[in-house]
Amino acid sequence: MNLISHIESLLGQLEQGWSFTKGVGSVKVVRFKDQPFEGGVTYVTLGLSDNVLPMSQGREVRQELVFTAYENFRAEEIASFMLSFCDYILAQRQALLRGDLVGPSIPLIPEVAVNSVYASIPVVFDERFSTYKGSEPHTVMVWLIPLLEDEANFVKKNGWSQFEDMLEHEDPDLMNLNRSSIFKEVGFIKR
């Protein structure tokens, strides 16, 4: 089973795809409708895993990126962001690790509130989705969770473990790219 077969076996048939000629080269972004649930859209890169990226302690990994949003957000803008983010990763020549944070910066996508991404395990999908074992080294799916500036600052100050505990407890709508901050929604006091 190749990588796209692995992905389609768990997300269904891809609906649409994009590639751009400058920058990332052979990386594409594909879209899966009604994933991880009805009304949602999941975007996955294809081709980033052609590059073996170093991790800590001499280990290496292949990675593809996963991003989820509601269907009302512009697909072309999300695909463009993901391809640009692949350029960033390849320029850094370093794998994204769980808890890595990029941002805050200008909005990730025009006309949305989120301005940072947080790397995590794609826990909103079937567990089998997270690793494709048909490559050497294995290909890991990295879920890019979109964050607002105060949420990103919380991660920087308190670390990824505490942040993920808070996400699990508060269960924010991470697919809404214009959502209110977790802190504003629940009256959470930042430490």
CA nearest neighbour of 59 among 155, 136, 144:
136
pLDDT at 183: 79
> Mean pLDDT for each 10-residue chunk of the chain (191 residues)?
94 88 75 95 96 91 97 94 92 93 84 93 95 96 95 93 90 93 61 44
Residues 6+ apart with CB under 8 A from 165: none
Q: How far is CA 150 from CA 103, 158, 182, in A?
A: 11, 12, 9
In a domain, 7, yes or no: yes
In a domain, 191, yes or no: no
pLDDT at 21: 59
CA torsion through residues 161, 166, 168, 173, sign: negative
Q: Is residue 62 within 8 Å of residue 52, measured between CB atoms?
A: yes
HSE-up of residue 156 (Cα within 13 Å, Cβ side): 13
- For residue 121, the enclosing domain spans 3-186
Task: Determine if the pTM surpasses 0.85.
Answer: yes
DSSP 179: P
What is the number of structural domains in the chain? 1
pLDDT at 163: 92
